[in-house]
Structure 1
Amino acid sequence: MAARNKRLNRLKQALRDGHFADVLTQTRARLSRGEESAALLGLHGRALEGLQRPDEAEACLRDALARYPEDGHLHLYLGNLLERREQPEQALRCFQAATRCDPGLISAWRAQLRHHPLPADSQATVSLLAHALDNNLSPLAQARALFLLGQIHIEADRDATGFEFYRQANRRLAGTLQSDAKEYRLPPGLLSSPRERWAPIPGVTSTPCPLVVVAGLPRSGKSLVEALLSRHPGLHGGGELALVRKAAAGLDLHGLRQPGQRESARQVSRQLLRASHDILGRQADASTRLVDTSPANLPRLGLLGMLQPEVPIILCRREAAELGIALYFKHFRTGHGYSYNLAGIGRALARAESLIDYWAAHLPNPVHIVDYETLARDPLGTANALYRFLGLAPDEIPASPPLQAATGRLFPSRSDDPRAPISDALLGFAQRFSSQLRPMLAARDSEQRKLLAQNTPAEGRSD
């Protein structure tokens, strides 16, 4: 049994790593040897879905449920597949079946929350609270339950209780991090660097890079901008690719400008070009551009100024309290350790805001700034401004984007659905938590003063 579980765990990790063909081959071989189990059939179906074979994946999971109707994970996997196939009612029934079979299946409760609020006094809260209080579980597992309890209670207008659940969730996650992972850090001296540092390096490349970079902190509206851009046939939304971060990894950007480093600069430029074209694929039209929305690109945009000054950059920002509460309520899978502490969020906001202002003033690239609030209130005007910024002719601009939704369900920690109408329903949400957010805003104000003092030339200071 132990050996079988070990093999299953290896297959699960391979699936998480995206090795779908390998998982399919191994599960098929084991099933053919009669090693059938609900877990193995679930892996087989998910591998088929990963290989873009949804019909076969659905048939596999339905067949598995006919054999193992009380397995909550199989109901969850089928629900996730149906949700991605835009069958929300069937998906919700699967998620509800999953929690009936296994009330402790946290992912199934989370999936239900994507569809409707859960009552604060329900089986969901009982199961989640038991999970959160189980000290035999890891802090990460406890935090997952606490984040969901926070959302459930806030959607039930129990703001104080909900915020306390979020506070406890973030504390558990913060306790798993080293101190240097709890801050949003900028490269030393970046904000005091002169404009000349990012000027194009002569002779590096004459080949335009097909990137469009959308940069900002998470929850600042990057996904909404990508959704607007992706409606145009000449713009391909790639998500958080982090191509600039990857190209800049381990580089001394200042050293690239040295005469002896010209070939290194050319290699980095070629890496960016190759990565972009590989993602777009050989079938893409020569005019197609790739949208990269990774927040990790933001501190490294100077690389584009030096190597690819033609790449357009869209910077996203959002009102501080609204962005701060969205970060605090968001359970990030990896990174963003600053979001687990209100003061850490405040300092991150100040640094990111200063960085956006700095890049807008210092980069040679074309730069456009999008404010979340303007986008939410006027998506059509924002879309047209973006298309004009990218040089799209009027007859190339697609039909109007969906305007604000009169109905629909939003929550600040949820990722924006690119298919849903853009809504202004979340504007002002942070006002409900004005007292709890005071430490965050105080830390932001303090950090802003510190950055101003550090990066203002001596002759320009009033003191």
Structure 2
Amino acid sequence: MKGRDLRTLIASPLDLRRKKILCEDICKQRPRDADAWCYLGYVCGRLGLPEEAVRHLQKALSLRPDHVDAWNCLGNIWLDNDRPAEAATAFERAVSLQPSHAGALANLGRALGALGRKGHAMNCYKRALELDPDNLPALNNLGQAYHENMRYDKALACFRHAARLAPEDPYVYTRMGTLFRTTGQFDAALEAYGKALETSPGLIDAIAGLAATQLAQGRHEACLEFIDSLDENRKLHPQIAIIYSGLCHRFGRCEDALRLIRTILAGSKLDNWSQVQLHFAAARILEIQQHYGEAFDEYECANRLKRCNYDDAGTRRLYDSIKRVFTRELLGRLPRASRHDERPVFIVGMPRSGTTLVEQILDSHPGINGAGELPDIGQLYPRFIRQYMPAYKEVKSDLITTQALDEMAGLYLERLDEIASRATRITDKMPYNFFRLGLIELLFPGARVIHCVRNPMDTCLSCYFHDFQGSHDYAYDQTTLGSYYRQYADMMEHWRNNLSLPFLEIRYEDLVENTEEMSRKLIAFCGVEWDDRCLSFHENRRFVATSSKEQVNKPIYRSSIGRWTNYAARVEPLRQALGELADS
């Protein structure tokens, strides 16, 4: 066969298995043809034969180390087989050989995103789109990255561009539907999921998205009817079972939901994520039924599956460094950003400590906008440390100028303008801003800080019982959870003694038992006039994106106070780790 025969084979409509046989013949006849080995590796990858694919691609690269397509294809094989570090190395090699390769750049972004390097991933997608504005993978992945960063308008622009390029692609509309659902635009979400299902009626992501939207709307009967209409195979899909588990107690179907979950868990091999979700779902049902021992078993199983190598000592070193550097003396002599903007209100504390309830009450005031958990300070903070306090070992005080602080503060304040330009106050309830308060004081001299506190046992157990998304590595083991809580408490004690920003501490239990008194205290602290709508926060139609949405859309939620006592016999490791704080 000649070189043109390989090109003919690539372009032919033959099925992949036939192509594999013919390409193997080409490789036997021309064993030093790197292109043939590369294509054979690609075909094997498409056929789900990763080991063969890697072997053939490495053969191509041994013949021609600068074979861009072979590096790119090898990266895809690694990425598809959960080896993002190797994938990133391969894609980086492809990009270094051909910087204008938009596809390799987009793929590098995917690998970096899988490694948690989200900012670098976004830069790759943007560079790919500069080279090829119609690169579909880059558009979809950049849209997803914007979605995760709460840049919803930019995410929607990416998805709409992708939909124009691929109007028959159901995945584009599914992503769009999920974006609309996240932002509470439920009718638009249902329309987008509907378009996806027109093209691909069996697409489970769209089916589950549609059901989840109905559930989020509070259309429980419609959601149940929709799930009941599905065939048995689709009901046995983990996503559908998890949505059903959120409905079952309303219709007396808890046992049916448990049976479904256990059938799925006992069946075919599931990915780790699905197993975790299903065990958490089973635990929630059993807790509703007051079968606390069985519920704890399920929560424990879910956490065991999620458990990772949390670096407790590393976190302790980090927090000790922050406390050592951000002292009252240092904060007293460093400059501040020049703009005294009173809009920012930072709601901090441990996750599951009542931050969502506080924000919902404040957002019910017509002059206050609840922005949710903004990632922006978390993105500015490492940049500030790198530039001005490298590794917390030195403070480059002479470089920390008003101009430098203004530039950083401006990025955040521009974001607030995008969210609600006319609001008098805007809340940011990212809990982990609690260790970034030193920077917040420098950037926002007009800001206020609300610290949410809840019974430590209830707080920690609620974390242990919650299926967090993102980085909460400490939360999956009782001992590390208690240790982390102690470090958080030490950090907040440090800020009480060293911050000069207005600081209000709100106990969740006080807010529940004395709602009006504490709500008035919150509103007064924010410096705005009282409004009676703050007492009807559960009627606020604002969409809450966090896991506390069901609680804050009801009148005051009391059942979580003392929740830990139902599990007293099972939480001794947590009590030991908390020490004296367990009874505070």
Structure-2-length-normalised TM-score: 0.64
- Of 417-426 and 94-103, more deviation after overlay is shown by 94-103
- Of 10-19 and 232-241, more deviation after overlay is shown by 10-19
1:333/1:133 CA distance change after superposition, 3 Å: farther
Shift of 1:134: 6.0
Shift of 1:334: 0.9
Any conservation in 2 of the 1:242–1:297 contact (CA below 8 Å)? no
Any conservation in 2 of the 1:312–1:390 contact (CA below 8 Å)? yes
1:30/1:399 CA distance change after superposition, 3 Å: closer
Match of 2:144 in 1: 16
Q: Partner letter of residue 558 of structure 2?
A: D
Match of 1:104 in 2: 236
Q: Partner letter of residue 573 of structure 2?
A: P
Match of 1:458 in 2: none
Structure 2 residue 524 is the aligned partner of structure 1 residue 388: yes
Q: Partner letter of residue 78 of structure 1?
A: L
Structure 2 residue 208 is the aligned partner of structure 1 residue 80: no
Q: Percent identity, please.
A: 19
- CA separation in 2, counterparts of 1:256 and 1:308? 23
Match of 2:453 in 1: 317
Structure 2 residue 274 is the aligned partner of structure 1 residue 141: yes
Match of 1:351 in 2: 487
1:418/1:98 CA distance change after superposition, 3 Å: farther
Match of 1:339 in 2: 475
- CA separation in 2, counterparts of 1:216 and 1:169? 24
Q: Partner letter of residue 434 of structure 2?
A: L
CA deviations over 1:420-463 (Å, ceiling 9, x no partner): 32221221211110111111011111899xxxxxxxxxxxxxxx
1:364 to 490, 500, 511: 500
Q: Partner letter of residue 104 of structure 1?
A: L
Any conservation in 1 of the 2:336–2:442 contact (CA below 8 Å)? no
Match of 1:172 in 2: 305
Q: Partner letter of residue 400 of structure 2?
A: R
CA deviations over 1:43-101 (Å, ceiling 9, x no partner): 56557768997555534544665787666544322233334455443234334445755
Match of 2:573 in 1: 439
- Aligned residues: CA RMSD: 3.8
- CA separation in 2, counterparts of 1:281 and 1:39? 28
Match of 1:424 in 2: 558
Shift of 1:418: 3.7
Match of 1:90 in 2: 222
- CA separation in 2, counterparts of 1:58 and 1:403? 26
Match of 1:272 in 2: 409
SS of 2:320's partner is: coil
Any conservation in 1 of the 2:227–2:235 contact (CA below 8 Å)? no
- CA separation in 2, counterparts of 1:9 and 1:128? 34
Structure 2 residue 428 is the aligned partner of structure 1 residue 292: yes
1:385/1:420 CA distance change after superposition, 3 Å: same
Shift of 1:392: 1.7
CA deviations over 1:114-140 (Å, ceiling 9, x no partner): 344275532x33442344456843333
1:267/1:84 CA distance change after superposition, 3 Å: farther
- CA separation in 1, counterparts of 2:217 and 2:208? 14
Shift of 1:249: 1.1
- CA separation in 2, counterparts of 1:110 and 1:336? 22
Gaps of 5+ in 2: 1-15, 17-44, 49-79, 81-134, 148-154, 540-545
- CA separation in 1, counterparts of 2:195 and 2:327? 64
Structure 2 residue 306 is the aligned partner of structure 1 residue 306: no
- Of 128-137 and 355-364, more deviation after overlay is shown by 128-137
1:260 to 398, 406, 412: 398
Count of aligned pairs: 431
SS of 1:316's partner is: strand
1:271/1:86 CA distance change after superposition, 3 Å: farther
SS of 2:435's partner is: helix
Q: Partner letter of residue 376 of structure 2?
A: L
> What are the within-5 Å matches in structure 2 for residues 96-245 of structure 1?
96-98=228-230, 100=232, 102-117=234-249, 119=253, 121-122=255-256, 124-133=257-266, 136-174=269-307, 177-180=308-311, 185=316, 186-191=318-323, 194-199=327-332, 201-202=334-335, 204-208=337-341, 210-245=343-378
Shift of 1:29: 4.1
Shift of 1:203: 5.9
Asked which structure has the greater CA Rg, the reply is 2
Any conservation in 2 of the 1:244–1:272 contact (CA below 8 Å)? no
Match of 2:66 in 1: none
1:52/1:419 CA distance change after superposition, 3 Å: closer
More helix, by proportion = 2
- CA separation in 1, counterparts of 2:195 and 2:380? 45
Greater relative contact order: 1 or 2 (C-alpha under 8 angstroms, separation 6 or more)?
1
Q: Partner letter of residue 197 of structure 1?
A: L
Match of 1:452 in 2: none
Structure-1-length-normalised TM-score: 0.79
SS of 1:291's partner is: strand
CA deviations over 1:276-306 (Å, ceiling 9, x no partner): 3333339722x62221111221111011233
- CA separation in 2, counterparts of 1:131 and 1:332? 22
